[in-house]
Structure formats: C-alpha cells, structure tokens
Structure 1
Amino acid sequence: MTLAKKEQLVLDTLNEGEMPLGAYGLLDRLRGDGFSAPVQVYRSLEKLQALGLVHRLESLNAYTACNLSGDCLGSAAFVICDDCGVIDELNDAELQRDLASMASRHGFTLRRSTIELHGTCTRCAKG
C-alpha cells in the first residue's frame, strides 16, 4: 500500500508522538511540511482511518496510530489513563467476537467499534 505524501507525514507524526493528537495539533506540527489548513489534515486522517492505520478517540477528540500493524479495520479497544494521559491499544479477539455476537442478537451487523476505557494506569496508581 502506498500512501500519499501528506498521509505518510500525518501517520509518521502520530507514530512519533507519545500522546494522541487532535487535527489542530497535527496541523501545528506539519505546517513546515506543506500543511496550511485543517481540511488537509482531516482528509489524510479519513484515508488513514479507512485503511485501519489510525483511530479516532472520541472522548479525547484526538487521533492515534494503530499499534497493531494496521489490523484495526474491525474493533479496537483502548485503556486511557485520566491522570497522565497514556493510552494503550488492546487486541482481544474474544471481545471482538462478543461484540459481533451482541450486535447480531439485536439484528445489527457490526462493521467496526472503538471502545475507550478510562481509569488510572499502574504507574499513576502507585504515585
């Protein structure tokens, strides 16, 4: 798969970052690389999401690169520390099957889902 230059720059920026970034945060970091308007960032993010390379974290209004090698076209789950902001992407096939089964029981075909679990990470709990 070949990404356009701007898509690759957005993906690289998300991969380099320690925290999820909003579109305007990405724009600020990429202004020197030819980005001048939010719409350019949003277009790249939409393409990257469609390819399963990027996730949108609704509760943070931010984006993060998929850390599961692009294997994220179905369901994704995240744990998010409310104290330090660290996030971790979880890969749980059983959870994905359960979600699809639950949706099916309600006459719904699940295409994708993103679950965000907020709490406190071990490091913050000890501190």
Structure 2
Amino acid sequence: MTAHAHPELTKNQSLVFGSLSDAGGPLTAYAILDLLREDGFRAPLQVYRALDKLVEYGMVHRLESLNAFVACAHTGCSAHGAAAFAICEQCGDVIEFTPDEALKGLNDWAGAQDFTLARMTIELRGTCGACKSKAV
C-alpha cells in the first residue's frame, strides 16, 4: 500500500510512512525522528501523532515486543483488525503474515467468552531460515 492510497494523509504522516516503507524493517519512533529531522521533525510527539493515525488506517503496525513500528505488508489489514509477525531474534528480520486458522480460533474463543476484540497482534519470536543455515 502506498501513501497515495490515502489522500487524507498529512505531510507528517506521509513522511513517517515513507520512512517506514523505505526502512525494510522495524523502526522505533526515535529512529524515525532521527531520519526526519531534516524534514522539520523536532519532537517525538510529531512522530507519535503520525504513527497513531497510520496504525488507525491499517498502514502501519506496532510490534509490541520490540516497541517499534513496521509498514504494513498486506492490503486490508485494518479490515480484519489482526496482524501476525515472525521476528528473527538473530538478524531482526520481520515477516508479516496472516495465520487465518489461528485468527479464526482466537476469534471463536473471544466470541465464546463474550469478549469483544478491538485488535489482535500475534508475534512469533525465533530464528529465520537464513540465520539457521548460517549457523550450520
């Protein structure tokens, strides 16, 4: 998804989304701030405001365990309110995926408990195939 898909993006939101899209991996809000200082960003609040809206639009996801953000790799994430990530603890690579079967099970459980889900983020931590093959 590109920033052009959301014409309502502010200049700051477009810049933050662009920095995440170009990064190829997760960035903290402070790393984004450092990247955008030449574009007029001076305070973390500017980044956090933009990130909040981008998360709301489903264009960006927050990785809770890393306290970092990534650009969404799938269109329509905001429609199903769920995201899943495999995070390599060796190289830091993050792969976004949609585990439909797991999401169905979790949604079924929530329904049986009369629990209304607002959003769901699944984070798998481990070692990617590339790092495993380097270790051999």
TM-score (norm 1): 0.95
Which residue of the partner structure matches residue 50 of structure 1?
56
Secondary structure, counterpart of 1:35 in structure 2: coil
Q: Is the 8 A contact 1:80 1:117 kept in 2?
A: yes
Which residue of the partner structure matches residue 113 of structure 1?
120
Q: Alpha-carbon deviation of 1:18?
A: 2.1
CA distance, structure 1, for counterparts of residue 61 and residue 72 of structure 2:
6
Which residue of the partner structure matches residue 36 of structure 1?
42
From 72, 89, 92, the equivalent of 2:77 is 72
Which residue of the partner structure matches residue 101 of structure 2?
94
Summarize deviations over 1:50-74 as a string: whole Å, max 9, x none.
00010000110100000002x1121
Q: Alpha-carbon deviation of 1:94?
A: 2.5
Give runs of ≥4 in structure 1 deviating > 3 Å: none
TM-score (norm 2): 0.89
Ranges in structure 1 where 5+ consecutive residues have no aligned partner: none
- Equivalenced residue count is 126
Aligned-pair Cα RMSD in Å: 0.9
Ranges in structure 2 where 5+ consecutive residues have no aligned partner: 1-5
CA distance, structure 2, for counterparts of residue 79 and residue 92 of structure 1:
11
Summarize deviations over 1:38-91 as a string: whole Å, max 9, x none.
00000000000000010000110100000002x112110000000000000011
Q: Is the 8 A contact 1:100 1:109 kept in 2?
A: no
Q: Alpha-carbon deviation of 1:107?
A: 1.4
